[in-house]
Amino acid sequence: MIQLTRERFEDLVSAALDEIPPALTKMMDNVVILVEDESERPGILGLYEGFALTDRGWDYSGALPDRIFIYRNPILRICHTEEQVIHEVTTTVVHEIAHHFGIDDAKLHALGWG
């Protein structure tokens, strides 16, 4: 397991977000991205909670923001180098943002963003 400060890990999450094309980030709506140290569900690196853009209808208004969680310690536990952390963080960020756009796990795995 590699050791990274929370600040450095958050910087890596920010860098991964910077890699998302601006045209996509402009379409993201009512969503926040949070770094947490641990998940209540073992084995997951990230989690999307909310209503995907494709599931929002005319009655979607006044809702609290959707939340994307990126879990620091589970990612650090499976990595041995900072380069591996960068790869896992990027993959996890893209994966969870894709859920915000309504893309399911099966499609993400098929696209190589498992």
Distance CA 33, CA 27 (A): 15
Predicted local distance difference test score (pLDDT) of residue 104: 87
How many other CB atoms are found less than 10 A from the CB of residue 15?
Answer: 13
What share of the chain in percent tops pLDDT 70? 99
Q: 55 by DSSP, 3-state: which?
A: helix
Q: What angle do CA 50, 75, 55 make, to 5 degrees?
A: 15
pLDDT band at 114 (very low <50, low <70, confident <90, very high): low
Predicted local distance difference test score (pLDDT) of residue 78: 96
Q: Which CATH class is domain 6-110?
A: alpha beta
Q: What pTM does this model have? A: 0.92
- Domain residue extents for the chain: 6-110
Evaluate whether 82 touches 4 at the Cβ level (below 8 Å).
Answer: yes
113 pLDDT more than 80: no
Residues counted in the chain: 114
Lowest mean pLDDT among 21-30, 31-40, 67-76, 84-93: 21-30
16 pLDDT more than 90: yes
Q: What is the mean pLDDT of residues 8-24?
A: 95
How many other CB atoms are found less than 10 A from the CB of residue 64?
Answer: 9
Q: What is the mean pLDDT of residues 40-60?
A: 92
Predicted local distance difference test score (pLDDT) of residue 97: 95
Q: What is the mean pLDDT of residues 43-71?
A: 92
Distance of CA 90 to the CA centre of its chain: 8
